[in-house]
Structure 1
Amino acid sequence: MPAPRNAKTASNKLPWSGRAAAVDNAQAEKEENSQAKRSPSSPQGAPKKRSAFGDITNAHKSRQITGKKETAKAAPKRAPKGLAVLGVVKNNETNLRKPPSRIPLEPAQATEADCTAKKGPGEVVEESPSSELVAQEVLPIEDIDKALLADPYASAEYAKDIFAYMREREEKFVLPDYMENQPDITRDMRAILVDWMVEVQENFELTHETLYLAVKLLDHYLVKVTTMRDKLQLIGSTAILIASKFEERCPPCVDDFLYICDDAYKREELLAMEIGILRTLQFDINIPIAYRFLRRFAKCAHATMETLTLARFICELTLQEYDFVQERASRLAASCLLLALKMKNLSGWSPTLEHYSGYEAQELPPLVKRLNFLLTYRHDERLKAVRSKYSHRVFFEVAKMTPMDMLKLEEALQT
């Protein structure tokens, strides 16, 4: 049996900014390093195995004992370093609570013709009151890339073009309702598979971009290929392998995925599935994901790491929910951030956010309400990976935060 991949420590892996993520602030990369590369449930012995999805209904029973052991683990020692960086961030939530600056326009000088009314000869010239010019409020749009122009690694001069290109590409990857064409798999099976994929991302200490892209590859493959349930885990693990090769500097090897699947599949099957997925998708796997848009939008809002982590938690919960697969990545990211801002009692959708996201404030409330409903009511006991992950103090324990009341959220969205 091949040696587990957990021998590699977080200190050996440099933070990966990603392709489109290179335009984001290098400081944000350092802040999220403690989250992306060292998760609270990373293995101290070996990655957790799970057999193929023949026992899909009781997939979590074998993990109850190991789950208790993991909750007793101490937090990673490197976590305070990530938290200490928050003191450096000057544009924080305190700034968000301040009212926007008002820049009144200077009234134009009234001419003599405006101030007087000339009459005929011998008549008195009467002065008429000048018309009052109402000062207009001008909310300037901030250039969020200006501060990074001197950093050659940030590619700030290309940021707007890159994200505009991603917005165009996401229209090509809109997912249809494909579950009707899958006779042997269900929404619940897909949700359990994605829950397992989150565990793999933690165990192998992969970036969140890898997880989001792997779920996208899974969905786009299921759109085109009818699959049996006994091959579902093979597709999920292969999707992570492909996404790792695309996103990671040091991706896991094939033997690692065979091990994590409890040797339920052979090497030849995994390699054949990799070729099958790539050919089915025509090797076009640069799919826009919500995680990249979310980081960009949070930068526009000057959100702290705690607020951004709350938005990430909401966004990651949607990966398991089939009802959200048809949403565009940018709209989903914008709605998750807006809900997080409202939950933290911060300002709403600013002109800067509207400019860089492309969404106006009135376009987001319907999806924001659905996300809040997901937080409040829809909680499957079989799906524990995401909530357990974000309940750790490395992630500010955002999963323990009380969701907003629906009526209060309705009022907050109107302000």
Structure 2
Amino acid sequence: MPLTRAKKPAFTAGSKMSKLNATTSENQEEGPQVKRPSSPPHGAPKKRTAFIDITNAHKVHISLPGRKKKKKEAKKQVKKTSAASLSAKNHANLTKSSSESSEETPAEREEDDEEEEEEEEEEEEEAQTDAAAPADELEASAPPAAAQVPAHHQKQQIPAEFDIDSENSEDCYMCPEYAKDIFDYLKRREEKFVLRNYMSDQSSLNPEMRAILIDWLVEVQENFELYHETLYLAVKMADHYLAKTPVHRELLQLVGSTTMLIASKFEERSPPCVDDFLYICDDAYKREEIIAMEANILQTLSFDINIPIPYRFLRRFAKCVSSGMDTLTLARFYLEMSLMEMDLVSARGSLLASGCLLLALVTKGLGGWSPVLQFHSGYRTADLAPVVRTLHEMLSAPPDDKLKAIRNKYSHKVFFEVASLPTVSSDVLEEALLSQ
């Protein structure tokens, strides 16, 4: 509906004129309408109109009845702690009074001078009272000591040899002050999202069907040019949903495409729309079905979809050893291949990322799990050994010709063709795992 303008309040002629007469100057004489000079004669009292022009409001000094009382109450709330601050305030008052003197009448100037003298006397008395205050009162008013801050709220001290964020101290986007705390929080949050092997509860599904779904999601991520974080989050949400809800095999692709839609809304700047996901599903589902599945997944997960994913930990841990892009890409290849392995569903993201990085370091001949990696990840080599062995068995197995999206992806020159690198031998791997 159109907006109606508010009507101005109606005034009668008598009331309006009475208000104007009450606010006009008492020294104004009534007489014939004559043209008045723009400036008053010398020594004449200053006239003021009923409504001051707002453009000149900053030049006009108005003396209000409660001005003196309000000034005193405001000054009592401010405590002066040193003579220097008192002198600075006096200097500011003198400057202010000199700037306003050109606009005030002699009577107003005299009134303001009396007010300022009273204010200065009150400030001097307050300063003397504060100086004579007992020491115990000053200690009582002091802020609490830093030692009283709880231990979990205090800033964690990082040894200089393990400090990997100081080099980004000028980059606010890297959050160098909070990077370690952020990843420690994500690592603690992983305990809330520990999965189990849920395939025994899915009577219509098997691990091979899940691997086919993830292989298809990798192609979707490439075709839409989505972030890798979107892919990992979609897989995590699908696993958590399948761990709680039995799904028929005909709806498995609907679950995968819907989780990718939700993850895109969470991670992407310009996420694909619903129609795009209907298109990649070859119109196997209707728009209403994917929207209903989206609501069902979010309600099943209690709308808690900020799940820690291993890809973020991998980038963090690779920074600890300043690994090259080729080594990081090799670890990313191992990590993406692990998404299809049902035995690794129950592994925590930080543990899985650490295992993939260790395997990549051994494959490249760059050493093992260094102390800086142990400090930031919280894992020792003995903690990573079972996961690393599982990854090595997965990579050593003959590739499935039906599931080749990830291998084809990392066989490209953009990814340094890491998929074509030979897998490290078992003897070299065991030597690296047992040497630390």
Alignment of 1:9-24 (within 5 A): none
- What CA distance in whole angstroms lies between the structure 1 residues aligned with 2:261 and 2:324? 32
- Cα deviation code 1:347-388 (max 9, x no counterpart): 211111110000112211221111111111152221100000
Question: More relative contact order in 1 or in 2 (CA 8 Å, sep 6+)?
Answer: 1
- Matching residue of 1:206: 226
Contact residue 213 and residue 253 of structure 2 kept, 8 A: yes
Q: How far is the alpha carbon of 1:344 from its aligned partner?
A: 0.2
- What CA distance in whole angstroms lies between the structure 2 residues aligned with 1:197 and 1:378? 22
Which of 164, 189, 206 is the equivalent residue of 2:209?
189
Which of 160, 170, 181 is the equivalent residue of 1:150?
170
Q: How far is the alpha carbon of 1:140 from its aligned partner?
A: 6.3
- What CA distance in whole angstroms lies between the structure 2 residues aligned with 1:181 and 1:392? 38
- Matching residue of 1:88: none
1:331 and 2:351 matched: yes
Contact residue 141 and residue 355 of structure 1 kept, 8 A: no
- Matching residue of 1:122: none
CA distance 1:358–1:378, shift in 2 (3 Å): farther
- Matching residue of 1:361: 381
- Cα deviation code 1:18-42 (max 9, x no counterpart): xxxxxxxxxxxxxxxxxxxxxxxxx
Corresponding residue SS for 2:330: helix
- What CA distance in whole angstroms lies between the structure 2 residues aligned with 1:412 and 1:161? 30
Contact residue 390 and residue 397 of structure 1 kept, 8 A: yes
Contact residue 214 and residue 243 of structure 1 kept, 8 A: yes
Corresponding residue SS for 2:243: helix
Contact residue 148 and residue 154 of structure 1 kept, 8 A: yes
1:246 and 2:282 matched: no
- Matching residue of 2:81: none
- What CA distance in whole angstroms lies between the structure 1 residues aligned with 2:416 and 2:310? 21
- What CA distance in whole angstroms lies between the structure 1 residues aligned with 2:404 and 2:202? 25
Normalised by the length of structure 1, the TM-score is 0.66
- Matching residue of 1:221: 241
Identity percentage of aligned residues: 61
Q: Over the residues paired in the alignment, what is the CA RMSD in angstroms?
A: 1.1
Contact residue 162 and residue 375 of structure 2 kept, 8 A: no
- Matching residue of 1:174: 194
- Matching residue of 1:277: 297
- Matching residue of 1:257: 277
- What CA distance in whole angstroms lies between the structure 2 residues aligned with 1:396 and 1:314? 14
Match of 1:290, as an amino acid?
P
- Structure 1 window deviating more from structure 2 (189-198 vs 362-371): it is 362-371
- What CA distance in whole angstroms lies between the structure 1 residues aligned with 2:329 and 2:213? 23
CA distance 1:152–1:140, shift in 2 (3 Å): closer
1:350 and 2:350 matched: no
- Cα deviation code 1:149-169 (max 9, x no counterpart): 211121111111110110111
- What CA distance in whole angstroms lies between the structure 2 residues aligned with 1:237 and 1:217? 11
Max radius of gyration: which structure? 2
- What CA distance in whole angstroms lies between the structure 2 residues aligned with 1:140 and 1:267? 55
Alignment of 1:69-84 (within 5 A): none
Match of 2:375, as an amino acid?
H
Corresponding residue SS for 1:157: coil
Match of 1:389, as an amino acid?
K
Which of 407, 419, 426 is the equivalent residue of 1:406?
426
Corresponding residue SS for 2:333: helix
Structure 1 alignment gaps of length 5 or more: 1-138
- What CA distance in whole angstroms lies between the structure 2 residues aligned with 1:195 and 1:222? 17
1:163 and 2:183 matched: yes
Contact residue 141 and residue 351 of structure 1 kept, 8 A: no
Corresponding residue SS for 1:141: helix
Match of 2:178, as an amino acid?
Y
Contact residue 288 and residue 329 of structure 1 kept, 8 A: yes
Contact residue 190 and residue 320 of structure 1 kept, 8 A: yes
Match of 2:388, as an amino acid?
V
Q: How far is the alpha carbon of 1:412 from its aligned partner?
A: 2.4
Match of 1:141, as an amino acid?
E
Contact residue 140 and residue 351 of structure 1 kept, 8 A: no
Normalised by the length of structure 2, the TM-score is 0.63
Which of 393, 398, 401 is the equivalent residue of 2:413?
393
Contact residue 290 and residue 329 of structure 1 kept, 8 A: yes
- What CA distance in whole angstroms lies between the structure 2 residues aligned with 1:232 and 1:267? 16
Match of 2:306, as an amino acid?
N
CA distance 1:327–1:294, shift in 2 (3 Å): same
Q: How far is the alpha carbon of 1:401 from its aligned partner?
A: 0.3
Q: How far is the alpha carbon of 1:141 from its aligned partner?
A: 2.9
- Number of aligned residues: 277
1:295 and 2:315 matched: yes
- Cα deviation code 1:390-414 (max 9, x no counterpart): 0011000000000011122111223
- Matching residue of 1:115: none
- What CA distance in whole angstroms lies between the structure 2 residues aligned with 1:271 and 1:253? 11
